[in-house]
Structure 1
Amino acid sequence: MQQSAGQGLPHTRTRGVHWISTAAALGAVVAAVALVQPADASPGKPAAAGSPSAAAGGAPAAPVAPPDPDAASYPLKCADGMPTDVISKVSGDLDGDGRPETAVVVRCHTETGTPPSGVYVLSAPKAPGGPPRIAVTLVKPEDNRQIGNFRLEGRILKATVLGFSSDQVPQCCPDLSRSYSWEWRGDRYVALPGPAGNTV
């Protein structure tokens, strides 16, 4: 699966022209990954143990706990060995396979400043008792974005993605805003951007 911070952390500032192309970039990244749905959940195969249809006699199985975001490892390069912070999280059956996923907004911990965020979808561990695995990266930290209003509506992830029109805009105060939705279609997440370049 594809895996891909704050004061004192290196940032790659994106210029206004790059912000306009964010929709295409995010869409390409997400569409290039084939993804959360596990092999044993393909059409025509029996439901996996623990899924709602797997219980004897068709009775509902016990609820499956969503992946714990605090137990996952994230591919952020934080300065001075700083840990990562889970800023927002939502859980639900995002891909319709009967098992919950957890979507998270994560950034490097800092006492001052506003590090860029990454957005990840976590799925169940490969082995019982193991850590959740990152199924897909929806927003890469190196793109220097901040995420607000992160939420789940039905099975659709939604957020406000904040960015910068130039290198001169302070890291604390992004001046561009764009709404995004991520929806599972077939075998992948599709990024659905709102209007480009709204000023904060």
Structure 2
Amino acid sequence: MQHLEGAELPHTRFRPAHWIATAAALAAVVAGSALIQPDDAGATQAADGKQLRGPDPSTAFYPGLRCGGEHRPQVQAQGSADLDHDGRPETAAVVRCPAGIGTPPSGAYILGEPAAKDAPPRVLATLVDPKDGMTVSHFSVRDGEISATILGYSSKDVPRCCPDQQAKVKWDWNNGKFVRHVLPAPGDTASV
């Protein structure tokens, strides 16, 4: 039997290639979590084929969303349509504070035209409150309907990188307000 004390095994040596591969994998995970892309962003078409443009979400003030220092919330996804059937387009937007690392909670809001010419857009409704600590993904505004997947955590012990609950939801205008509906998903055992 060969004595291995002090001998380095070949599979335990770290080479620069290992560190580069690890760094690349970590960068891909961070970049992927930062790029929440909507299925249908920006303006949508009205029945007559004209583009509907709602208020600009980058200029709004969002209640419940306070970013540190001079940082402004980042718009992650948006879509415009006449969501409350009043003849004017609104903008549905998902926003969050910028983060160097990690996944800050999302807020989802409905924006209406400003009250005055130089004022920011008005927040008409909060669909997802950032204080609830959830993340919004797969967000879309299509045919006047808002849908998304909401990711959350079952307890404070679950690492913020790895949500362990999800729900597919949609919102519609009903009796003067936006109502959230959780959509059934076959095989899902956890929901937010």
Q: What is the TM-score normalised by the length of structure 2?
A: 0.67
Aligned to 1:188: 177
Partner of 2:143: 154
Q: Does 1:123 align with 2:112?
A: yes
Paired residue for 1:88, among 77, 95, 106? 77
Give the structure 2 partner of residue 38 of structure 1: none
Is the 8 Å Cα contact of residues 53 and 80 (structure 2) preserved in structure 1? no
Contact 2:151 2:167 in 1 (8 A): yes
- Deviation, structure 1 residue 172: 1.2
1:79 and 2:68 equivalent? yes
| Structure 1 residue 164, shift from structure 2 partner | 0.6
Matched, 1:175 2:155: no
Percent of aligned pairs sharing the same letter: 42
Which deviates more, 142-151 or 123-132?
Answer: 123-132
CA RMSD between the two structures: 2.2
- 1:97 maps to what in 2? 86
Inter-partner Cα distance in structure 2 for 1:93 and 1:164: 33
Q: Which stretch of structure 1 is more off in the superposition, 189-198 or 179-188?
A: 189-198
Note the residue ranges of structure 1 that are not aligned, 5 or more in a row.
Answer: 1-51, 53-59
1:70 corresponds to which of 58, 62, 66: 58
Over residues 74-124 of structure 1, what are the superposed CA-to-partner deviations in whole Å (9 max), with x where a residue is unaligned?
A: 221223443211111011111111110000001111111100001000000
Q: CA deviation at 1:133?
A: 0.7
Quote the residue 1:18 is aligned against.
none
- Aligned partners of 2:109 and 2:124 also within 8 Å: yes
Distance, in Å, in 1 between the alignment partners of 2:97 and 2:110 is 17
| Aligned twin of 1:31 | none
Q: State TM-score, norm by structure 1.
A: 0.64
Distance in 1 (CA, whole Å) between partners of 2:123 and 2:130 is 14
Q: Which has the larger radius of gyration?
A: 2
Q: Shift of the alpha carbon at 1:64?
A: 6.4
Give unpaired runs (5+ residues) of structure 2: 1-45
CA contact (8 A) 1:180 1:191 kept: yes
Is the CA contact 1:177–1:197 (under 8 Å) kept in the aligned structure 2?
A: no
Which residue is equivalent to 1:132?
Answer: 121
> How far did 1:193 drift?
1.1
The structure, 1 or 2, with the larger RCO (C-alpha pairs under 8 Å, 6+ apart) is: 1
